């Protein structure tokens, strides 16, 4: 059988000119075919185009099934999406790099700015706590005076009650101010810590342990508490 196939192929090759095409394929039953044209009902099979001397010049893969086509389209779409995401991430990183390197000249500058901003917030909190203590004392005094008036059968005037209300509003304001500034300290530290990490990443500067900054942060935490 193999000898017959070889002789058949040789005869077909000799029958074609240099410009002629010869195709070889194997159908689903394992039968080998040779022809100068691939019939429409055979195009789904993988095939080879042979030269006049029998050398394989081109290989054509079998036709994809519908499921394989869908899978291929899905994979190509995923690759395109991944490539787009990678491009966007690269562009965003470049923008971030430029922003960081244009905003700061050194890691020490970032640490200094962080320390200055946090220290200012701490001072604001300390001032607010002092005001709060004064307002709370005023409120206690006013409430005692109001209680004394009621015990003595005196009428607590509308103006006096308004004064108490104003002091209470000041107390609420100071408490909210302290809470807001305390939260702002955390936000500020997070921002500058993030910027410092990015600066090390983009500038190539090596991070160093700064004990003074660590100690300052500990003092700040004590003050806040």
Is 216 found in the same domain as 107?
Answer: yes
Is 29 found in the same domain as 128?
Answer: no
Q: Domain boundary at 60, 81, 109, which?
A: 60
Is 218 found in the same domain as 153?
Answer: yes
Q: Which pLDDT tens digit goes with each residue over 107-125?
A: 999 999 999 999 999 999 9
**Lowest mean pLDDT segment, chosen from 47-56, 64-73, 134-143:** 47-56
Give the list of residues 6+ apart from residue 192 with CB closer than 8 angstroms, or none.
110, 111, 113, 114, 117
Containing structural domain, residue 20: 2-60
The single residue listed with the structure tokens 């905003």 is: 103
Q: Which residue has the higher pLDDT, 58 or 109?
A: 109
Let me know if residue 138 belongs to a domain. Answer: yes
Is 121 found in the same domain as 31?
Answer: no
Let me know if residue 90 belongs to a domain. Answer: no
Model-level pTM?
0.60
Let me know if residue 152 belongs to a domain. Answer: yes
Task: Provide the number of structural domains found in the chain.
Answer: 2
For residue 218, name the pLDDT band (cuts at 50, 70, 90): low
Let me know if residue 86 belongs to a domain. Answer: no
* Mean pLDDT of the region 122-138: 96
Is 183 found in the same domain as 119?
Answer: yes
Q: Report the distance separating Cα 219 and Cα 111, nearest Å.
A: 16
Is 191 found in the same domain as 130?
Answer: yes
Give the other-Cβ count within 10 Å of 93's Cβ: 13
Let me know if residue 92 belongs to a domain. Answer: no
Is 29 found in the same domain as 121?
Answer: no
Q: Which long-range contacts (CB under 8 A, 24 or more apart) does 16-21 make?
A: 16/52, 17/52, 18/52, 20/52, 21/49
Is 108 found in the same domain as 32?
Answer: no
Q: Which pLDDT tens digit goes with each residue over 158-213?
A: 999 999 999 999 999 999 999 999 999 999 999 999 999 999 999 988 887 654 44
Let me know if residue 87 belongs to a domain. Answer: no
Let me know if residue 32 belongs to a domain. Answer: yes
Domain holding 159: CATH number? 1.20.58
Let me know if residue 112 belongs to a domain. Answer: yes
Is 104 found in the same domain as 30?
Answer: no
| Beta pairing partners, 60 | 47
Is 160 found in the same domain as 52?
Answer: no
Is 125 found in the same domain as 34?
Answer: no
Is 48 found in the same domain as 143?
Answer: no
């Amino acid at each position: 059988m193999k000898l017959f196939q070889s002789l058949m192929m040789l005869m077909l090759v000799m029958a074609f000119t240099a410009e002629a095409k010869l195709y070889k394929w194997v159908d689903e039953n394992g039968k080998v075919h040779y022809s100068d044209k691939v019939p429409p009902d055979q195009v789904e099979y993988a095939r080879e185009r042979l030269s006049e001397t029998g050398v394989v010049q081109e290989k054509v893969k079998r036709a994809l099934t519908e499921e394989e086509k869908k899978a291929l389209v899905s994979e190509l779409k995923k690759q395109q999406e991944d490539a787009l995401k990678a491009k966007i991430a690269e562009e965003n990183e470049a923008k971030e790099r430029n922003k960081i390197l244009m905003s700061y000249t050194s890691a020490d500058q970032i640490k200094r700015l962080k320390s200055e901003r946090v220290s200012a917030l701490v001072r604001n909190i300390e001032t607010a706590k002092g005001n709060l203590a004064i307002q709370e004392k005023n409120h206690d005094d006013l409430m005692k005076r109001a209680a004394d008036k009621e015990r003595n059968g005196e009428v607590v005037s509308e103006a006096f009650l308004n004064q108490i209300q104003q002091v209470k509003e000041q107390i609420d304001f100071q408490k909210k101010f302290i809470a807001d500034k305390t939260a702002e300290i955390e936000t500020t530290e997070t921002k500058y810590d993030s910027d410092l990490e990015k600066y090390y990443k983009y500038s190539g500067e090596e991070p160093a342990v700064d004990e003074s900054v660590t100690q300052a942060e500990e003092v700040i935490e004590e003050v806040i508490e």
